[in-house]
Amino acid sequence: MTRYDLTRLPLVEPLLRNRWPQFVTTSIALGGFVFAIIAGMVGTPVGSRNFGIVSVWIGWWALLMLIAVPFFGRGWCSICPLPAPGEWLQRGAVLGPSTGTGRRPGLGLRWPNRLRNIWLQNGAFAVIALLSVVVLTTPSVTAVVLAALLVLAVVMSLIFERRAFCRYLCPVGGFIGLYSQLAPIELRVKDPAVCACHTQKTCYTGNADGYGCPWQVFPGGLVKNTFCGLCVECLRTCPHDNIAINLRDFGADLSNPAGRRLDEAFKAFIMLGSAMAYSAVMLGPWGALKSAAYTVGSAAWVIYAAAFLVFIFVVLPGLFFTAVVVGRRLSQNLAENSTTKTRRPEGKRQAFIALSYALVPLGLAAWIAFSLSFVFANLSYLSAALSDPMGWGWNLFGTARVNWTPYLTQFVPILQTIVLVGGLIWAGATAQRIAEETSKMRSLPVIVFCLIVTLVLLGLLVG
């Protein structure tokens, strides 16, 4: 596995050390975020003409799922506007590090140990997913959700230390973290021995050059991207210049057995299941399903919500668990009939958790394929919404009357197929690699599971 440290490039390190570029980018994003909230509240209720809906669910989503997450992992988190106001209040400075000694408003409590996992993020995502058809199409609801997330992030920053919201609650951060393991970029220490000898651990505690890791991560112990927000504070605070931003192979984290957890495993199921459910609800031909998902609070919606939750939390993991058990039995049978020694298989739970990481590339592929289906079809709304963001009859850039034009309609199904098949191959290879840790044979049913999921997605998305 080859790695190239980008900080070796002449301009990269100074650019990252300087607080201004990141600060300005975040502030611009915050401006767009606040504007999206305002547009959702006072602009036209027509989603396709409202900046709030179009910028967030078409523009930002396209940027996130098609570029940011696959190529930059948590790159978005480094400039995300959501935690910015809370973090500024918490720090008592917007640029920082704070030079003053005045009281800061936050309580700075530690996040409870029992909640140091992503189950809350899983729940938060599931809740939003249940309401998503309304959220994605109704500007006022989008505005309320965005505003609620902003307020929540501020409140969390004032109660808890560092970025507790991002780490433990943000519904978006959860899946970005999961899929950031696939990204060809990572922040790691150059020499762990240097960190071991550095007693101050300024990367975690902070110093005059920067803050202690907002994500509560000790860079010296980083083995995967999941919880590194790429804020590069550690690059600023490390006195030994021991932080590297590496270019690496795609999916490098998946080969590392360290840090595999059940909450993350379930995140993989939630994301894969949601992509399948969304494809059926939003792109499928079933009007009754669409209506049920839209009429939040109705009996039909309750049934839809129950079915959705059962699917992502029970059916999909249940089927996968069955595949894992079958694979385990297969490998045991083979081992009994073989003269060569194989390693002792891990327990079912461990096998389930480990192999579920094979779903990470498939899940990202599913989300990319799903996003492709509506992003290019609806991208033309962006030019109209930029010109008349509120639907008030403005024409700032002369594009307010641009008619809806779907782009790349002929190529999207081809791209989706390539992405999904690529995701399947990647998932299969990952499953094999994980299985090799004990016995290669046990990956077979998991690969069959991935194949079935891929075929279902191809049917839903490509037809």
Partner 1 sequence: MTAKGAERAARLTAIVLALGLPVAALIARWAGWGAGRDSVIEIHGALAEAGGWAPADLTATVGEPLRLRLTSDDVMHGFAVGQSDWPAVDVAPGEVTETTITFNRPGKYVFYCTRWCGVNHWRMRGTIEVAGPTTSPAIESPPLYVTLGLDLDAPHPADVIPERRPSADRGAEPGATIPVEFSTGEYFRAHSPAEVWRALRASPASRELADAEVWDVVAFVWRSNSTPESLVEGKRIYAANCAACHGETGAGNGVMAASLASQLTAEFGHGATKPADFTDPAKMLGASPALLQGKIIRGGMGTGMPYWGPILTESQTWAVLSYLWTFVMD
Interface residue list for partner 1 (CB under 8 A): 20, 23-24, 27-28, 30-32, 34-35, 37-39, 42, 44-46, 48-50, 81, 88, 93-96, 98-99, 388-394, 400-401
Q: Which residue, 327 or 391, is less far from partner 1 as judged by CB?
A: 391
The set of long-range contacts for 111-120, using a CB threshold of 8 Å and a minimum separation of 24, is 111/160, 111/161, 111/164, 111/167, 111/168, 111/216, 115/168, 116/168, 117/168, 117/261, 117/263, 118/168, 118/174, 118/177, 118/263, 118/264, 118/267, 119/263, 119/266, 120/168, 120/169
H/E element holding 453?
helix 444-461
Q: Which residue, 27 or 295, is less far from partner 1 as judged by CB?
A: 27
Q: CA end-to-end span of the chain, whole Å?
A: 38
Residues 6+ apart with CB under 8 A from 222: 186, 187, 188, 189, 228
Q: Are 250 and 182 in contact (CB under 8 A)?
A: yes
What is the four-CA torsion angle of 279, 281, 287, 289, rounded to 10 degrees?
140
Strands 185-189 and 243-247: antiparallel
Please tell me what DSSP assigns to residue 5: E
User: At closest approach, how far in Å is the CB of 44 from partner 1?
Assistant: 4
Q: How far is CA 280 from CA 93, 271, 317, 396, 423, in A?
A: 46, 14, 19, 37, 19
User: At closest approach, how far in Å is the CB of 251 from partner 1?
Assistant: 36
Q: Which residue, 28 or 455, is less far from partner 1 as judged by CB?
A: 28
User: At closest approach, how far in Å is the CB of 2 from partner 1?
Assistant: 38
User: At closest approach, how far in Å is the CB of 356 from partner 1?
Assistant: 40
Q: Are 45 and 127 in contact (CB under 8 A)?
A: no
Q: Which residue, 42 or 429, is less far from partner 1 as judged by CB?
A: 42
Q: Which residue, 2 or 403, is less far from partner 1 as judged by CB?
A: 403
Q: Are 82 and 33 in contact (CB under 8 A)?
A: yes
User: At closest approach, how far in Å is the CB of 43 from partner 1?
Assistant: 9
Residues 6+ apart with CB under 8 A from 227: 167, 177, 215, 216, 217
Q: What tokens appear for 94 in the block?
A: 């917007």
Could you tell me which of 453, 259, 249, 260 has the C-alpha nearest to residue 355? 260
Q: Which residue, 23 or 61, is less far from partner 1 as judged by CB?
A: 23
Q: Which residue, 94 or 152, is less far from partner 1 as judged by CB?
A: 94
Q: Which residues pair with 245 in a beta bridge?
A: 187
User: At closest approach, how far in Å is the CB of 50 from partner 1?
Assistant: 7
Q: Which residue, 43 or 219, is less far from partner 1 as judged by CB?
A: 43
User: At closest approach, how far in Å is the CB of 387 from partner 1?
Assistant: 11
Q: Which residue, 50 or 121, is less far from partner 1 as judged by CB?
A: 50
Q: Which residues pair with 186 in a beta bridge?
A: 246
User: At closest approach, how far in Å is the CB of 367 from partner 1?
Assistant: 28
Q: Which residue, 32 or 123, is less far from partner 1 as judged by CB?
A: 32
Q: Are 367 and 275 in contact (CB under 8 A)?
A: yes
User: At closest approach, how far in Å is the CB of 23 from partner 1?
Assistant: 6
Could you tell me which of 62, 154, 57, 49 has the C-alpha nearest to residue 371? 62
Residue 168 region, left (φ>0) first, then alpha (ψ -120 to 50), else beta?
A: alpha
User: At closest approach, how far in Å is the CB of 171 from partner 1?
Assistant: 22
